Structure 1
Amino acid sequence: MDTTLRDGEQTSGVSFTASEKLTLAKLLLGELKVDRIEVASARVSQGEFMAVKNIIDWASENGCTENVEVLTFVDGGTSITWMKKAGAKVQNLLTKGSLNHLTHQLKKTPEQHFATIEEVIQLAKDAGITTNVYLEDWSNGMRNSQEYVFQFLDFLTQQPIKRILLPDTLGILTHTETFGYLDTIIKRYPKTHFDFHGHNDYDLGVANVMEAVKAGCHGLHLTVNGMGERAGNAPLASAIAVINDFLPQVRTQVNETSLYKVSKLVSAFTGFGIPANKPIVGDNVFTQTAGIHADGDSKHNLYFSDLMPERFGRKRKYALGKMSGKANIQKNLEELGLTLNDDELKKVTARIIELGDKKEKVTKEDLPYIISDVLDSSSFHQKVFIKSYVLTHAKGLQPSTTLSMEFDGKVYEENAQGDGQFDAFMNALHKVYHKLDVKLPTLIDYAVRIPPGSNSDALCETMITWKIGKKDFVTTGLDSDQTVSAIKATEKMLNMI
């Protein structure tokens, strides 16, 4: 059962609109193919009512009304009336699963609590509503008041209910406790359907899900991206992967290839980003960074595991940066359909490592620009070097540049102002070349672009068209800073003339 739309919505700062809930409900049941969804809490708001009604209307048309569940309360039938108006057919009734909660929050005896629960179950039955029962704080109940928990379960197993839902409400259980408690309960009540609802406060949510299944639990409550109160709930994607890979005794019908798509949509709706290293759905989890790993992948898939990205509708990537070896770059070149000889590959590798050392991010889309820049730079013998410069831009003052450059072994320095930093740089350069009695080409076009489709802020390419006599020619510069990339393009021009 996916409870993203109910328990996941308890993530601080998250609230789905009615249309978002309907969209996700359709995806969860129709494409991802979870068995059930818990979509809302009864009585909370008019928005919740409309969300449930819209989902139920859609579910009715598609024959899956019984797969849509609503959290309800022991309130004398108010929740049941709310559900009837919305058309919902399955309630998940919230009750107290520990003596501590019962005594201090409800201030009732077990017998008084059971009597009010029985009343609500009967009202639901009369209204044609199926009942499942949550034992809130069940995990603490098993730790500290097992006699009460078994008294409660003895009562519930005699009631006309479908499932008993056992939540680790505060995420306190270890994996050994989860197995032990559930194994004991399932053996004691072999004819009853039990669900496990895990939270992730100790980052043990997936481990506890695994042990719950081993113990014979019949259902699991999970959320997309592990959303939920505090540290969240057991995450759906990781739990499905673990079940499919390590628990051959059970099977799910969840469509693994849709996990990533639904994950991204939930992230977009909630504004909560997915950590880059989050298993299965994080941006980096199928990215090899070290060059030795890319090399190993090319040699009998040495760094592959059962967690293949294609299972989840994704692709393996090879990061570019200071850890990149030639193998990483070669993998990216293959995807782009590009070929370099060994010497060219060495030069491109050196440039990418240089960018990585500057903490700049490089993407596959940047590669053609880097290749162009590196190979273009090696097409002439460098005699002119821009050694140093200071670019200033202050409010109320004209931009200025102080420039130091080397030509044929001699250093020249000049300062100039201009309409912008690059204009000031060019004015300083003209001063130097005036001393050399050399006329510089005329700048006739200036364009800046970033790699299309790239998410990187590391690189931009500046293309400058120059005119010298009747001839036009273009030079390019590549850097993370637009003005610096223009200066690099200018330095190439100086060497070409």
Structure 2
Amino acid sequence: MEAKQIEIMDTTLRDGEQTSGVSFSASEKLTIAKLLLEELKVDRIEIASARVSEGEFQAVKGVTNWAKANNYLDKVEVLTFVDKGVSLEWMIEAGAKVQNLLTKGSLNHLTYQLKKTPSQHFTEIKETILNAESKGIETNVYLEDWSNGMRNSKDYVFEFLAFLSTQNVKRIMLPDTLGILTPYESFDFVKQIKDQYPHLHFDFHAHNDYDLGVANVMAGLNAGADGLHLTINGMGERAGNAPMASTIAVINDFMPHIKIAANEKVLYTVSKLVENFSGIMIPANKPVIGANVFTQTAGIHADGDNKKNLYFSELMPERFGRTRKYALGKASGKANIQKNLQELGLQLNDNDLKKVTQRIIELGDKKEVVTKEDLPYIISDVLDSYSYQENVKVNSYALTHAKGLKPSTTVSITINGTVYEQNASGDGQFDAFMNALRGIYKIKKKELPELIDYAVRIPPGSHSDALCETIITWKNATKEFKTRGLDSDQTVSAIKATEKMLNIITN
């Protein structure tokens, strides 16, 4: 049987923006829209609700201007309302050509929110569709609260569908507005509708209130749904919408009877950009795109990966533009250590490897964060080996910070046995310290890596006298890497992390 091509409509910029505390700027909306259509290659995007604000109007205009110039305008959609053409005029003025008309998909919503009869509602919808048609606007129709409608007022839903089947509507959209459905119901409800109207196009719109969004999507597709509504990172109201990344992975791996155009290779890139723009952090254990989901912690898993990839599945990180990592901590075994040593180009004999493994387990028990970049120093500490001695040592430094004066630092360091001193000022004490180092390394005609991230944290619940951990991400011509420093003083912990970086680039 030939696979069925289904549409994916991304609603991150409309439904996803209903996430509490999220509001994308006009330039952010345009950037995300471009990525969704040009890189991720979703079939359609829903970018706004009509009549929201002047800022939203300008944001929509920016997207539609770009879309029109690049032949994407028929893929850009705006949520509109049954309001005698007011929202329709808003979207037309904003340059959009496709309306997603919000109507009532349950008798409860119709009766208690609109206080109208089905015939009154249908008449107004018909007028809105005819008005859109006269202006060259394509119409899709949302049946808001459709899932409760199927549970509690099925006769009304089928009366509504019978009416819509006679109208000039391209797609009928079936939202589980409150995220109440089970996979069994999702399949049953969609199938009943597709069996009766096999030639109409139905989109399924899942929410994730019970963490069943992806399961419900699978069920809806198996029942014959023709399209899906998804959001990047599962953003959306309350618990969010069915997430884009997990859904694409599930379709590609478990549903050979379904075809999609989306490019899974760029999922991680798009997800991280939306994370940055929205300020909503991706949980570390979120499937496909979480920071930890391709990190093996247990040593037995790393050992299995060394022996015929025993712990690999179809969910390979390379598919999503990522790589597998092997964490170092109290659950680490020799195989985890070996994987990280291989990445550093280091080798140890079995006896030395056992000693290093034991030391990492001890650090893990103390809640120490152990990174791949720490390995040379752990090895040096455990084995007392000259092979991995510190070649760079920060001997001393004087940090000055006085009101009205620029912070300055005097630094003394030893590089391969030679002592260097330098003084510099900067915007802060650590900036001054880095400027002094740059002066020293300029003498040596060597550039320092670029600092691209600087994170500081103390243990939860600690007080002002707590140890402070500074994690700095560096980037040189070949790679990104992180170093960590620990001290009761934030600047000193950053200096310790920097000292590690200097040894990494000098070794």
Q: What range describes the TM-score normalised by the shorter chain of this pair?
A: 0.7 to 0.9
Aligned-partner SS, 1:166: strand
* Counterpart position of 1:183: 191
* Counterpart position of 1:9: 17
Matches within 5 A, 1:320-331: 320-331=328-339
* Counterpart position of 1:292: 300
Q: Which amino acid aligns with 1:220?
A: L
Aligned-partner SS, 1:69: strand
* Counterpart position of 2:59: 51
Query: CA offset at residue 349 of structure 1?
Result: 1.3
1:107 to 110, 115, 125: 115
Matches within 5 A, 1:132-147: 132-147=140-155
* Rounded Cα–Cα distance in structure 2 between residues aligned with 1:482 and 1:12: 36
| Bigger relative CO (Cα 8 Å, ≥ 6 apart) | 2
* Counterpart position of 2:239: 231
Label 1:246 to 1:345 Cα distance change in 2 as closer, same or farther (>3 A): same
Aligned-partner SS, 2:265: helix
Is it true that 1:480 corresponds to 2:486 in the alignment?
Answer: yes
Query: CA offset at residue 372 of structure 1?
Result: 2.9
* Counterpart position of 1:427: none
Label 1:94 to 1:357 Cα distance change in 2 as closer, same or farther (>3 A): same
The Cα RMSD (Å) is: 2.7
* Counterpart position of 2:291: 283
1:265 to 261, 267, 273: 273
* Rounded Cα–Cα distance in structure 1 between residues aligned with 2:49 and 2:456: 42
Is contact 1:361–1:456 with CA below 8 Å preserved after alignment? Answer: no
Label 1:197 to 1:160 Cα distance change in 2 as closer, same or farther (>3 A): same
* Rounded Cα–Cα distance in structure 2 between residues aligned with 1:114 and 1:453: 57
* Counterpart position of 1:68: 76
Structure 1 gaps, min length 5: 380-442, 462-477, 490-497
CA offsets 1:83-106 (integer angstroms, 9 cap, x no match) = 111110000000000000000000
* Rounded Cα–Cα distance in structure 1 between residues aligned with 2:167 and 2:60: 26
* Counterpart position of 1:358: 366
Moved more, 183-192 or 359-368: 359-368
Query: CA offset at residue 370 of structure 1?
Result: 2.0
CA offsets 1:150-205 (integer angstroms, 9 cap, x no match) = 00000001000100000000000000000000001001011100000000001000
Moved more, 358-367 or 171-180: 358-367
* Rounded Cα–Cα distance in structure 2 between residues aligned with 1:64 and 1:377: 62
Is contact 2:295–2:325 with CA below 8 Å preserved after alignment? Answer: yes
Is contact 2:380–2:386 with CA below 8 Å preserved after alignment? Answer: no
* Rounded Cα–Cα distance in structure 1 between residues aligned with 2:233 and 2:376: 35
Matches within 5 A, 1:269-418: 269-376=277-384
* Rounded Cα–Cα distance in structure 1 between residues aligned with 2:109 and 2:487: 60
Q: Which amino acid aligns with 1:480?
A: L
* Counterpart position of 1:27: 35
* Rounded Cα–Cα distance in structure 2 between residues aligned with 1:342 and 1:459: 32
* Rounded Cα–Cα distance in structure 1 between residues aligned with 2:357 and 2:196: 64
Query: CA offset at residue 334 of structure 1?
Result: 0.7
CA offsets 1:248-296 (integer angstroms, 9 cap, x no match) = 0111111111000111111101111100000000001011100001000
Query: CA offset at residue 13 of structure 1?
Result: 0.6
Query: CA offset at residue 371 of structure 1?
Result: 2.2
* Rounded Cα–Cα distance in structure 2 between residues aligned with 1:209 and 1:20: 28
2:209 to 177, 201, 204: 201
| % same residue | 70
Larger Rg: 1
Label 1:59 to 1:479 Cα distance change in 2 as closer, same or farther (>3 A): closer
1:92 to 84, 100, 115: 100
Structure 2 gaps, min length 5: 1-8, 388-418, 423-432, 438-448, 458-467, 472-483, 500-507
Query: CA offset at residue 352 of structure 1?
Result: 1.1
Q: Which amino acid aligns with 1:189?
A: Y
* Counterpart position of 1:82: 90
Aligned-partner SS, 2:252: helix
Label 1:479 to 1:260 Cα distance change in 2 as closer, same or farther (>3 A): closer
Q: Which amino acid aligns with 1:202?
A: Y
What is the TM-score with the length of structure 2 in the denominator?
0.76
Is contact 1:460–1:482 with CA below 8 Å preserved after alignment? Answer: no
CA offsets 1:7-62 (integer angstroms, 9 cap, x no match) = 00000110001110000000000000000000000010011111111111111111
